[in-house]
Chains A and B, each alone.
Chain A
């Protein structure tokens, strides 16, 4: 197994504390000035790192609240890895470490990696074939003076925070997008948000606790909590997702005796393009929910895999499309503010992931939260997955930082926005054409990958004799017979026991299939619905 801490080499970071005049909030253009001031990033094998090295330190901002009263026994009992104490000695000039168990880079059999990536703004596969760049990562680039991150570092053990090189990028990105309003926010890499979520449950929940969420929610979030003895409790939703009034009411009337559990203090929410409903909370909705969280001292898990899949406003089949954002600034302004951006208390853990915006197979994401919470998270990383794959980190660094930069990455995200807009519009066009409007209704999603279809089951000929879930199964199987797979709404209920559905839903994705296939699939689904409803 691995050494749990830095037994590596030169560890030097510069904390950005002194009188640099910085544009505040950080912009894409501000990054290069900050980096120039900080000097070349030197971070060798398993170098200790922290967001503090890379972010703007603003003493005028408040510090985050402490969450000791919510940390679980397990998390509180997590001790820093014992070899950590040795790390400070590593900075001594001339020290020889016989302490750690790092293998020697000489014995890593990969010498060089090349990959072909798009050159902004020419992002399509066709363009990349023609004009893409070949990016090379060598084994000893750093010592040979060709860069700041190479295979010898990436292939060795690393820190639970993730590598300094990629942590710098995500810290800057987070500051550009969210500019958190408190002082001591930090980022740490995760091996994806599913894993980050599981670790977060362990950090905050005890057996028997409830986690609050939208009444229909991401199935894996529920299934991950269940074996920990943690149940989900659904809060009513509307077209904009979670209803703050319903949340407030539920918490105000919480009765420990009858519920058999302490008052919930974790809210799990997917604010943009929620899975499965596709709902996106508007700015005012988020503010209102944050206020309820303050009132009841909730800790918010802001799970945002689809944040950058916010699409162009839907104009309908006949109206002309809205032109894409003309600049990165315009794009950033068009995004709905994050919870993190309004988090003056430090009560939000934001989960970002490269899964939907780069590729799921990278298995890299990151969290942003207060220093206290991030420190506990890193302790957990150290004794489980440790850190994301070094190869994934290196290639993401090469793509995002060394080649695209923040500017190119935002252009990529604009490109994704337009791609998903096109996909959504094509699915919606098919729905308008092929689904019986007297039965099926939907809200055009503003973000994400999913369309949530509501079927008016009252109009079903067997509405009086069959349960909603039975009708759902019947229609699901009829669709399968017609050659289309669509997810059943009941798969996504927050509460798995005793939940009585009052409506009939199906979830369709516009992420995976081509436009033609999607259209064909919706046509088939329309036939299945019509048959079941005997239209």
Chain B
């Protein structure tokens, strides 16, 4: 009896009221008058002259079909897409079958801990995140970010006069104590300024850091967010690209694992801890089916979902009908099991790529576990110049995503020491980082410069020192998503040659 009660209670849990998080912008949306029509549409025999929908006979596409890959090695399906509704104006919510698919999928894989969560389609996570910022943030607000954060996420809010509060992260992602400290001391350190109430986080394959947050860490973060009343934007494009910890000398060709084992191996989403409806999850098909689809979805509490929908009706409207039709037909054919099989294979491909790149680093540098050496701040592995005892950079082998984030010991370079001594150089880390990036580019290897991923803390905090950066440390991001194995190996050789030269 007691057990039954618990279950009944759990399924009945509803999101708590979050209206105090909603910004003026979203609160001041006027009602849409045309919505008044919808209630009458279902009357029997009603003829509507009220809307402004073009007649489907005037759409110049008659039919379409797609050849898709099978999720497994079976025969290739040939699918017919229904066009009339795909090409018409939507209500903004998107294709009902696709929404239902996302709902079932979320329930099965992400298991939200509260009951009345909803799905809303968006045009990819960049669009989704922009909509969240416009739902929750006021000009002058602060947003909690990871210590190194994705540059495009910032470009939406920097022009709104918003600033970042970077929270330190380690190999398991965001550090709870650091989050707690930033919030506990907020009033003292920022008198008169509203405490941040939004956390932006890429918890799997963090961009750029490549780290993945485990369940225990998530629980701690979630509890702090409850304590301080923070909304979590879980931006999760790489969720299915989760990898086991890299072991030196591990085979580059990982063996595929059965689907059930694969699903079990995945870390829990923040939704699994979310008893209150304070997580807005951003899912996208960009990394699993193709970014050009510009299609993804929110999982959010009903209140946020309604307001996000209301916003979408005045902005993007529903995502492309073509994209929706294609993805809906693909997913209905594949079903959830097929999609999981597809992403499981995909994960295997990216895992192999990760291994290629680390193997390639190991071939060009001497790699030692950081635990065996005492270099402050170094985690994972330390890369030494071949045949020397000179450490150059450290990195945590990614446990997800598409990137290796390298932490450079600039002070090992004579050129950097020269810059550091020069009193005219205000920010030696930045100057040296720029020089090094350019030298890489001149040697025909293009990297993501660490500076791209610096959280924006305001105009007065742009130098490494003012932004709270470490002295003599800089970062570069290496992507293993796009190039071929040969290109990757050649790229890393060039990378190593430049380092040998400069250091």
**Cα distance A125–B63 in the bound complex, in angstroms:** 11
Main secondary structure on A side of the interface with B: mixed
Judged by a CB distance under 8 angstroms, whether B398 is at the interface is no
Q: Does B402 contact A (CB under 8 A)?
A: yes
The verdict on B293 contacting chain A, using a C-beta distance below 8 Å, is: yes
Q: B290 near A110 (CB under 8 angstroms)? A: yes
Set B55, B287, B320: member contacting A361, Cβ < 8 A: B320
What is the minimal beta-carbon distance from A169 to any residue of chain B, in angstroms? 15
Q: In the bound complex, do residue A100 and residue B494 qualify as a contact, i.e. CB atoms below 8 Å apart?
A: no
Task: Give the Cβ gap from B485 to chain A, nearest Cβ, in Å.
Answer: 11
B64 — which chain A residues lie within 8 A by C-beta?
113-116, 395
Residues of chain A within 8 A (CB-CB) of B90 are 361
Contacts known (A485-B46, A518-B49); A2 close to B314, Cβ less than 8 A? no
Tell me whether B62 is interfacial, beta carbon within 8 Å. Answer: yes
- The interface-forming segment of B251-259, B418-426, B447-455 is B447-455
- Minimum C-beta distance from A514 to chain B (A): 8
Chain B residue at minimum C-beta to C-beta distance from A92: B444
Total interface residues in chain B, CB < 8 Å: 120
A90-B446 in contact (CB<8A): yes
- Report Cα–Cα, A339/B314, bound state, in Å: 25
Q: Mark A8-31, 1 if CB is under 8 A from B, else 0.
A: 000000000000000000000000
Taken together as a complex, chains A and B put the C-alpha atoms of A332 and B68 apart, in Å, by: 41
> Taking the complex as formed, is B275 at the interface, i.e. its CB lies under 8 A from any CB of chain A?
no
B235-A1 in contact (CB<8A): yes
Asked if A98 and B294 sit within 8 Å, CB to CB, the answer is no
**Residues 350-366 (chain A) with a chain B CB within 8 angstroms:** 355-356, 358-364
Q: Is B416 an interface residue (CB 8 A)?
A: no
Q: B1-55: which have CB < 8 Å to A? A: 24-30, 32-34, 36-37, 40-41, 43, 45-55
Which of the candidate stretches A53-61, A243-251, A379-387 sits at the interface with the other chain? Answer: A379-387
Report how many A-B pairs have Cβ atoms within 8 Å: 396
- Verify if B152 is at the interface (C-beta below 8 Å from A): yes
How far is A360 from B336 in the complex, measured between Cα atoms in Å? 29
Q: A116-B62, A125-B57, A509-B51 are in contact. Are A103 and B290 (CB under 8 A)?
A: yes
Contact with B along A358-399 (1 / 0, CB 8 A): 111111100000000000000100111111111110010001
Contact of A322 with B by CB under 8 A: no
Which residues of B48-82 are within 8 A (CB) of A?
48-55, 57-69, 71, 76
B290 x A195 contact (CB < 8 A): no
CB of B235 to closest CB in A, whole Å = 6
With both beta carbons as reference points, the residue of chain A lying nearest to B484 in the complex is identified as A104
Decide if B48 touches A101 in the complex (CB within 8 Å).
Answer: no
Residues on A with C-beta less than 8 A from B58 are 416, 419
A48: shortest Cβ distance to chain B, in Å?
Answer: 15
Residues of A within 8 A of B57 (CB): 124-125
Neighbouring A residues of B63 by C-beta, 8 Å: 115-116
Interface assignment of A275: CB less than 8 Å from any CB of chain B? yes
Q: List 5 A-B contacts (CB under 8 A).
A: A98-B491, A98-B492, A109-B289, A362-B322, A382-B152
- Closest 5 pairs (CB-CB, A-B): A361-B321, A390-B292, A389-B320, A155-B290, A361-B87
Q: Which A positions have Cβ atoms within 8 angstroms of B?
A: 1-4, 7, 73-79, 81-83, 86, 89-90, 92, 94-104, 106-118, 123-125, 128-129, 132, 153-158, 191-192, 194-195, 198, 219-220, 222-224, 226-229, 275, 355-356, 358-364, 379, 382-392, 395, 399, 412, 416, 419, 423, 449-450, 480, 483-488, 491, 496, 507-513, 517-518, 520-522, 524-525
**Residues of B at under 8 Å CB distance from A?**
24-30, 32-34, 36-37, 40-41, 43, 45-55, 57-69, 71, 76, 85-90, 123-127, 129-130, 150-153, 155-156, 158-161, 202, 207, 235, 237, 284, 286-287, 289-295, 313-324, 326, 330, 342, 346, 349, 402-403, 441, 444-449, 451-452, 477-483, 487-488, 490-492, 494-495
